[in-house]
């Protein structure tokens, strides 16, 4: 599974547009993880979305992003977990343990239902 995380200063970027790097986590086999960083400086939001698709990403974890961009990324077969906040390492751990729905990781004002079959309202 390949996970992309839109980051800024080692935290989930509050706004996808403002992310200055994309952290890529490639969990090839159980217990083996490869990490890499891609600079997003001077990159448009459309270019960021295209890059996520080109990298063969399975999951994108990010803060707020415009619905048309979310639809574009989702249409490419990428699961989008948006309106997430927090330090990158804590978010990765929560994702692995199924704990991203915890209020600590959901942006304020977002009444997201991340359970079975529920859609977020953010």
Q: What percent of the chain has pLDDT over 90?
A: 62
User: Residue 66 above 50 pLDDT?
Assistant: yes
DSSP 18: G
Rounded CA separation 22/17 (Å): 12
- φ/ψ region of 86 (left if φ > 0, alpha if ψ in -120 to 50, else beta) reads left
pLDDT for res 3:
94
pLDDT in tens, 75-102: 999 999 999 999 999 999 999 999 888 8
């Amino acid at each position: 599974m390949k996970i992309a995380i839109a980051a800024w200063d080692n935290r989930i970027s509050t706004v996808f547009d403002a992310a200055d790097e994309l952290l890529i986590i490639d969990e090839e086999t159980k217990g083996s993880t490869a990490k890499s960083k891609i600079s997003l400086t001077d990159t448009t939001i459309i270019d960021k979305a295209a890059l996520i698709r080109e990298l063969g990403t399975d999951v994108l974890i990010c803060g707020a992003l415009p619905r048309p961009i979310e639809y574009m990324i989702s249409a490419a077969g990428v699961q989008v977990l948006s309106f997430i906040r927090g330090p990158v390492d804590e978010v990765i751990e929560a994702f692995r343990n199924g704990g991203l729905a915890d209020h600590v990781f959901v942006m304020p004002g977002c009444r997201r239902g991340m359970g079975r079959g529920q859609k977020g309202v953010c």
